[in-house]
Amino acid sequence: MASTTTSLEQLSVDTIRLLSVDMVQKANSGHPGLPLGAAPMAYVLWSRFLRFNPQDPKWPNRDRFVLSAGHGSALLYSLLHLYGYDLTMDELKQFRQAGARTPGHPESNVTPGVEVTTGPLGQGFANGVGMAMAEAHLAATYNKPGHEGIQDHYTYSIVSDGDLMEGVASEAASLAGHLQLGKLIYLYDDNNISLDGPTSLAYTEDAMKRFDAYGWHTQHVADGNNLDEIEAAIKAAQEVKDKPSIIAVKTIIGFGSPLAGTSKSHGSPLGPDNVKKTKEFYGWDPEATFVVPDEVYEHLRAPGQQGAELQKEWDAKFQQYEQEFKAEADQFHVSFNGDLPEGWDKDLPVYTPADGELATRQASGKALVAIKKAVPFMFGGSADLASSNEMDKSGDDSFQPGHYERSNIWFGVREHAMGGIMNGIAHHAGLRTYGGTFLTFSDYMRGAIRLTALAESASTFVFTHDSIGLGEDGPTHQPIEQIVSLRTLPNVVVLRPGDANETTEAWRIAMNTPKSPVCLILSRQKLPIFDQSTMGSAREGVAKGAYILSEADGGTPKLILIATGSEVSLALASQKALQEEGIATRVVSMPSWELFEHQDKAYKEQVLPPSVRKRVTIEAGSPIGWAKYATDEGTSISMNRFGESAPAEHLFEEFGFTVENVVKTAHTVLQEQPAEEDKKQVVS
C-alpha cells in the first residue's frame, strides 16, 4: 500500500519522537529507543482510532490504552501532553524527578490519562485483558435494544518483546483467546532488541504462531513507519469480532539515531552528541529542545476535541437510557462512582456457637453469596480452585463467549494472570473484583498484588488453606512465609480471621476499602464460632485490626495471648487452662496488623497495655514481625521450618500448636527475664 502520509502527520510523529528523546536526555535516565521506533503506531492509534476526552479522562465509554511496555513512558507522556491532557511541558521537563507527574514508569494514580500502572513486563498485557473482559461484561449487562452504546469501547495496548516473553502474558493471552475478546487489540513493537542485546540470543520462536494457537487474530506490518499500513491492520483487527488481535509491527529501535537497531538505545539516554545527530536526521534544529510546532499542537488536539463531542453525544444518549432503564442507570452510576448499593451489607451472615464449627473459607463463601446478591456488579472467580475457595463452581454462571452477562470468571490455573486481570478490571471501573487460590500460590501472583497496591486500586484476593492445617498435601502446599510476605507490602490490608463472624467482617472491610487491595487468609479446617454474647464483638473489633476477644479474670491481665486465624481458638482454650491455674490471661484476636497500626495510641494501649509485657503470640506461620507485639519479655509460637505431609491434627501437635505447649511457653515467659543483650536486639 502506498503511503499517503502528509507532511503535517510526519511532523507530528517526529515531534512525539523528539519530545520523548529530550525528556530522557534532560533526565539523563530513561528509554529513548521505544519512542523513536513506536511513535508512528502510537500516532495512528491516537489520531485515527482512539476515542478519548482529555477534559474528562474517566469518561466511562472511552477507549482504553495501556502502555504495557512501560519502560517507554516518555512516549506516553508525550502523547498525553500533545493530545491535550492535563500534563504540562514543565512536567515533561521534570521527567523521572521527585514529585513530578512523569515518573519513570506510568502510574495511574499519579498522571491523568494513564489507565493503569505498568512497567514490570507482562503486567500491562494482563491488565488489558482484564479491561476487555470488563467491557464485555458491562456491555452485556447494560446495553439494551436501541441503547447498544452504553458500554462499547476497545482496549488497545502497545506491547514489547519483553512482554511476550513473560509468563504472565502467556497466561493472560491464553484466557483472552478462549474468551474470544474481539475488542482487544494489541500492537506488538517487533524490533528484535531487548535490554541486553538481540532477542535472537534467547527468543527465536514465531510469536505470532503462538498467538494463532491461543485463538488470536494475528497480522504483520512490515514497515513500522508506514502509517497507512498500520491503520489498515487496525481496521482489519476491528472487523474480527470473535478473536482478540495482535499486530506485529516491524520497527527499528532508536530509529533515526546513531544507535538505531542496537540495545544501546534501549535503556540509556542517547547522549548529547547523538541527540543532536538524531535531530539532524529528522531535519530539526539540533540545538533546540522541547520544541512543539504550533501546527502540531493544533493537529493533535483535534482527536480529543472530537472525543469531547462523542462524550456529549453519549451523555445525551445515557439520559434517554435513564428514562427507560432507571434501575440499570442507577446501578451504573453507583458502580462507576466506586460506591455500593444502600444497605448492601444488611444480609451478611451472623453466627452463634449453635451453628457449629465452620471453616473460615466456608464462611467466606457464604458472605460472598450474600454480597453478590446485594452487589450485582461483583465480577470475579477462582484459579481452578473454586471448590476449595468456596466460590461458585457449577459453571452455570460462568463468564464465557456468548454469555458475557455472567459474573463468575473461570481463570483456569493461571494465578499470575488472574492478579493482573483483576487489576485491569478494577482500573476499568464499574465492577468490584475478587479472585481466589491457595495461599501458597500467592507467590505466583505477588507481582500483580504489588502493582495493585502501588496503584491504590481495590481488589480482594481470597487465599485459602492458610497453614499446616492444610494437612496431607504436605509442605509444597503448606504456606509458612506467605502471610508475613504479604504483610510487608505497603498499602495492602491482610486479614486472617479467627472464626466465621470475623470472616464476615473481613469481607465488609474488603468491600469498604477503596484504595488498597485486601488479602483474606482463610482456613481449610473447621473452627469453633466465638460466643459474641460473652466475648468481644467481631463487628467492632476486626475493623480495628485487633481487639480484646476474651478478658482476663478480674479484668487485669498478667499475661496476654495474641493470635490470628485458626490459632485464636487455641488461645482461648489455653486461656481457660491458664486461668484455672490462677494466671489472669487476656486473649487478643489480631486479624490485621495493618488495621491495628492505623488505630490511635489510646486504643492500641487499651488492647496491649505497655505495662503488660508478658505476652505470647501464636500463628502457624513465620515469626518475622511478631516480636513487636510479643515485646522483649514475650515470645512467639510460630513456624520457622517447612511442614510435612500428615493429618492437620498431627501437625499442630508436632509443631507445638497445642494447649499444653502454649501453657508451657506461658510459664517460661512469666518466670524468665530477658538478658540485657536480648533486649537490645529486640529493640533494634
pLDDT at position 679: 35
Q: What is the pLDDT of residue 5?
A: 65
Q: Is the dihedral of CA 192, 194, 197, 201 positive or negative?
A: negative
| One-letter amino acid for residue 318 of the chain | F
pLDDT of residue 397: 80
Q: How far apart are CA 573 and CA 663, in angstroms?
A: 10
Q: Tell me the per-residue pLDDT of 621-643, one tens digit each, with 9 for 90 and over.
A: 999 999 999 999 999 999 999 99
Confirm whether 594 is a catalytic residue: no
DSSP string for 405-452: T--EEE--S-HHHHHHHHHHHHHH-S-EEEEEEEGGGGGGGHHHHHHH
Q: Please say if the pLDDT value at position 90 is more than 70.
A: yes
Using an 8 Å Cβ cutoff, are 134 and 180 in contact? no
Q: Give dist(CA 267, CA 326) in Å, integer.
A: 52
Mean pLDDT of the chain: 96
pLDDT digits (tens, 9 = 90+) for 608-624: 999 999 999 999 999 99
**Integer Cα distance of 523 and 394 in angstroms:** 22
Task: Mark 314-336 as b/e (b = at least 16 C-beta within 10 Å).
Answer: beebbeebeeebeebbebbebbb
493-495 vs 358-359, strand pairing mode? unpaired
The pTM is what?
Answer: 0.96
| DSSP-assigned states of every residue in 590-615 | -S-HHHHHTS-HHHHHHHS-TT---E
* pLDDT tens for each residue of 347-386: 999 999 999 999 999 999 999 999 999 999 999 999 999 9
What single-letter DSSP state applies at residue 553?
Answer: G
Q: Which of 171, 415, 567, 594 is catalytic?
A: 415
Looking at residue 396, what is its pLDDT? Answer: 73
Mean pLDDT of 130-136: 98
Q: What percent of the chain has pLDDT over 70?
A: 97
Residue 78 has pLDDT above 80, yes or no: yes
Closest Cα partner for 519 from 546, 484, 488, 493? Answer: 493
- Give residue-wise pLDDT tens across range 136-176: 999 999 999 999 999 999 999 999 999 999 999 999 999 99
What was the pLDDT predicted at 678? 41
What CA dihedral angle connects 39, 45, 50 and 55, to 10 degrees? 20
Which H or E run includes 463?
strand 460-464
Q: Is the pLDDT of residue 39 over 50?
A: yes
At 615, list the grid cell: 505476652
Q: Please report, rounded to a whole number, the percentage of residues in the chain having pLDDT higher than 90.
A: 96
